[in-house]
């Protein structure tokens, strides 16, 4: 699933449709709803998207528990009789032929493409936080896996197919995942691989509603081996997945996502340190430590990134799909070899063009045509666009993170990720990183102040320069609950907002707000000067005159918004198409392609057929996905008929080991 306009950490969300800072919540964004799968996303707020189940990550304080032991006495403190042994877990890793798993679901990819999908840690390769040295890797080696099982006391007697220990117990494990065909395919291969090493696997293919239910399956640690997918993000987070104090137990009302029961003190401290500092170099250092411990202890076996594909006609120049960014992000540099029009195929139509109340791949892919983003998100990182370079960091001097004293009744940001008055029992993080429950007196907390600047020359499509009032309007509307905004967390995190000029504003956050992506501008802009032309109560008035409660139904917002991007949305024929024309007032100058048409085609097979006939020019990963249709476009690309790209999705398959039993 790809999520939009949200900031990691405290769950920040962009305010305003235009100049959107596209960031993942809980990940790196994936490319649209992933067919026949369930993806569990680390995020600040749960939401359900087409064929995708999303489970929320919650904030986590620092951990101090002992290494690889449960954090509390009671249930789930007994090591699993099989998986509690490190040698067995490592043996399973060595006995898993991951390239063979990949080939089973992606036979149309060549060996190089398949190898590029392999995962070694919980952070995707190429990510700024991915460890490249010091980690323990597990290349396929059934002989080595068998030797480890022998050392662990699980022997394979002559003539037997399943190993047993000295007590005669069989080496048999339950394996639970969803009933999606995709997972049934690769897991069948996995089961055979384990059989080769003498491990019996008993599969359960459960409905996603049970496996990811709030009171069943994964949430209640009702598994031995469990398979599902996480979504990688530009900000890795991870505290609720791997911290000692995030092990779900009956005693803590099953809070946390560390269902493996993994408690490694070194890793826990590192992952919490990485998520509680604004210094990227320090974050990298701590994430490397966590990955080293994660791979050494083999508590979760990363398998592979899911593959996606995108394709375009040969007349389309500049088509550059990316794992973590929408392919329309570089629309201002597109060209066409003949003619002046490009046609894009979408399998889903936006419900609205107002990003404050609508969050979908179709909306954001279309929105890039009419909007200039504050920053893009290529390759698991951020690049300034409308925001001035460099980003406003503490190192650049455009931000400061000072220690301040707080006292009773002051507004602060709590460890639960919300704004609250400081009263007895409220839990906060102090300036030295300690987690405390307030009793009385004063505390020192970190207070972040950031000045966000924007490049010169930004203009609306009617050639009106962007001004202070445009940013102020976005702040006013999107922080009003009456607007119907999907989240007010961003607004709640602000202590003070000062619009200092037509191209800058300064935000002083509440004490305790320490989001690692603080340098991404959280407030966008709306054209305050725009005159309402649609019939109704506000005809003849300006956009600034319309109250927040009526914005969602206003045609000038929901249907044909005024933009500042490379194109102008001229016409939207619901259920049919959207037509965009080149913006002559775009700050970089009018783009080369004069017209872009988005054509809505719900059937992916039909969309592929139209691509092959040239009736449409591009299918992005949110439309093409990773189904059988991919083979058609890759075969056509091999013949030179079209251009096609395989993409390592941010979504990655893995198998967790539940190391404790009741």
| Chain segment 101-113, per-residue pLDDT in tens | 999 999 988 899 8
First-to-final CA distance of the chain: 33
pLDDT score of 60: 35
pLDDT score of 357: 77
DSSP letter (8 states) at residue 651: E
For residues 574-596, average pLDDT = 97
| pLDDT above 90: percentage of residues in the chain | 73
pLDDT tens digit sequence for 16-36: 444 433 222 222 233 332 223
Q: In angstroms, rounded to a whole number, what is the distance separating the alpha carbons of residues 432 and 539?
A: 55
Bridge partners (DSSP) listed for residue 577: 573, 599
Backbone angles phi, psi at 401, to 5 degrees: -130, 90
Residue 3 pLDDT grade (very low, low, confident, very high; cuts 50, 70, 90):
very low
DSSP helix/strand/coil, 637 = helix
For residues 549-578, average pLDDT = 96
Residue 11 scores a pLDDT above 90: no
- Predicted model pTM: 0.82
pLDDT score of 14: 44
Residue 240 pLDDT grade (very low, low, confident, very high; cuts 50, 70, 90):
confident
Q: What is the largest CA-CA distance in the chain?
A: 89
Q: Which domains does the chain have, with CATH numbers?
A: 308-381+538-648 (3.40.190.10), 388-509 (3.90.76.10)
Radius of gyration of the chain (CA): 26
Q: In angstroms, rounded to a whole number, what is the distance separating the alpha carbons of residues 84 and 349?
A: 49
Residue 643 scores a pLDDT above 90: yes
Residue 168 scores a pLDDT above 90: yes
For residues 441-457, average pLDDT = 97
Find all residues with CB under 8 Å of 470, minimum gap 6, and list them. Answer: 525, 526, 527, 528
pLDDT score of 627: 72
Residue 37 scores a pLDDT above 60: no
Residue 74 pLDDT grade (very low, low, confident, very high; cuts 50, 70, 90):
low
pLDDT tens digit sequence for 288-311: 999 999 999 999 999 999 998 999
For residues 502-521, average pLDDT = 96
pLDDT score of 252: 85
CB atoms within 10 A of CB 390: 11
Residue 457 scores a pLDDT above 60: yes
Closest CA to 513 of 10, 21, 42: 10
What are the CA-CA distances from residue 601 to residues 14, 580, 616, 641 (Å)? 30, 18, 10, 21
pLDDT tens digit sequence for 612-641: 999 999 999 988 877 778 889 999 999 999
Q: 123-127, 465-469, 525-529: which has the minimum mean pLDDT?
A: 123-127
DSSP letter (8 states) at residue 544: G
Backbone angles phi, psi at 477, to 5 degrees: -75, -50
DSSP helix/strand/coil, 51 = coil
Backbone angles phi, psi at 389, to 5 degrees: -95, 145
What's the whole-number average pLDDT of the chain? 87
Where do we find the tokens 């399956």?
217
């Amino acid at each position: 699933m790809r999520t939009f306009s949200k900031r990691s950490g405290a769950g920040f969300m962009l305010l305003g449709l235009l100049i959107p800072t596209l960031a993942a919540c809980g990940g790196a964004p994936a490319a649209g709803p992933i067919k026949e799968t369930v993806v569990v996303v680390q995020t600040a707020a749960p939401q359900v998207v087409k064929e995708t189940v999303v489970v929320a990550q919650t904030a986590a304080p620092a951990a101090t528990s002992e290494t690889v032991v449960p954090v509390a006495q009671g249930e789930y403190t007994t090591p699993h009789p099989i998986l509690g042994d490190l040698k067995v877990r490592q043996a399973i890793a060595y006995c898993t032929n991951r390239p063979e798993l990949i080939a089973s679901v992606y036979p149309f990819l060549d060996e190089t493409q398949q190898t590029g999908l392999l995962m070694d840690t919980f952070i995707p390769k190429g990510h700024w936080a991915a460890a490249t040295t010091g980690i323990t890797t597990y290349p396929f080696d059934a002989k080595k896996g068998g030797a480890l099982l022998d050392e662990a006391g699980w022997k394979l007697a002559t003539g037997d197919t399943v190993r047993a220990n000295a007590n005669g117990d069989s080496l048999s494990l339950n394996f639970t995942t969803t009933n999606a065909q995709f997972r049934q395919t690769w897991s069948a291969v996995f089961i055979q691989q384990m059989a080769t090493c003498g491990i019996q696997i008993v599969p359960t293919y459960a409905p996603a509603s049970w496996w990811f239910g709030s009171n069943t399956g994964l949430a209640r640690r009702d598994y031995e081996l469990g398979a599902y997918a996480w979504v990688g993000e530009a900000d890795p987070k991870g505290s609720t997945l791997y911290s000692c104090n995030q092990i779900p137990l009956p005693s803590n009302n099953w809070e946390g996502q560390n269902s493996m029961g993994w408690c490694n003190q070194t890793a826990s401290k590192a992952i919490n340190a990485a998520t509680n500092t604004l210094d990227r170099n320090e974050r990298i250092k701590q994430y490397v430590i966590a990955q080293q411990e994660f791979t050494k202890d083999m508590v979760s076996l990363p398998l592979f990134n899911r593959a996606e594909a995108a394709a375009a006609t040969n007349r389309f120049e500049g088509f550059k799909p990316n794992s973590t960014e929408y392919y329309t992000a570089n629309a201002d540099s597109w060209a066409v070899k003949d003619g002046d029009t490009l046609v894009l195929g979408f399998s889903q139509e936006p419900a609205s063009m107002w990003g404050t109340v609508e969050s979908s791949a179709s909306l954001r892919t279309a929105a890039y045509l009419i909007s200039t983003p504050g920053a893009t998100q290529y390759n698991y990182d951020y690049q300034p666009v409308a925001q001035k370079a460099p980003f406003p960091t503490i190192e650049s001097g455009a931000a400061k993170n000072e220690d301040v004293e707080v006292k009773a009744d002051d507004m602060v940001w709590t460890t639960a990720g919300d704004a609250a008055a400081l009263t007895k029992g409220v839990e906060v993080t102090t300036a030295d990183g300690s987690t405390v429950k307030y009793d009385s007196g004063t505390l020192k907390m970190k207070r972040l102040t950031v000045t966000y600047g924007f490049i010169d020359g930004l203009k609306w499509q009617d050639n009106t320069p962007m001004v202070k009032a445009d940013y102020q309007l976005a702040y006013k509307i999107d922080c009003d609950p009456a607007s119907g905004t999907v989240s007010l967390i961003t607004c709640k995190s602000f202590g003070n907002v000062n619009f200092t000029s037509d191209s800058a504003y300064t935000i002083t956050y509440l004490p305790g707000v320490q989001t690692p992506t603080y340098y991404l501008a959280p407030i966008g802009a709306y054209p305050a000067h725009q005159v309402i032309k649609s019939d109704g109560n506000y005809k003849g008035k300006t956009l600034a005159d319309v109250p927040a409660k009526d914005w969602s139904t206003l045609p000038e917002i929901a249907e044909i918004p005024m933009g500042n991007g490379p194109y102008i949305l001229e016409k939207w024929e619901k259920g049919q198409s959207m037509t965009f024309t080149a913006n002559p007032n775009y700050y970089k100058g009018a783009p080369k392609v004069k017209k872009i048409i988005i054509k809505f085609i719900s059937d992916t097979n039909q969309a592929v057929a139209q691509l092959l006939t040239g009736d449409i020019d591009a299918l992005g990963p949110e439309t093409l996905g990773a189904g059988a249709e991919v083979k058609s476009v890759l075969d056509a690309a091999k013949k030179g008929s079209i251009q096609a790209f395989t993409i390592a999705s941010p979504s990655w398959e893995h198998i967790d080991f539940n190391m404790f039993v009741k």
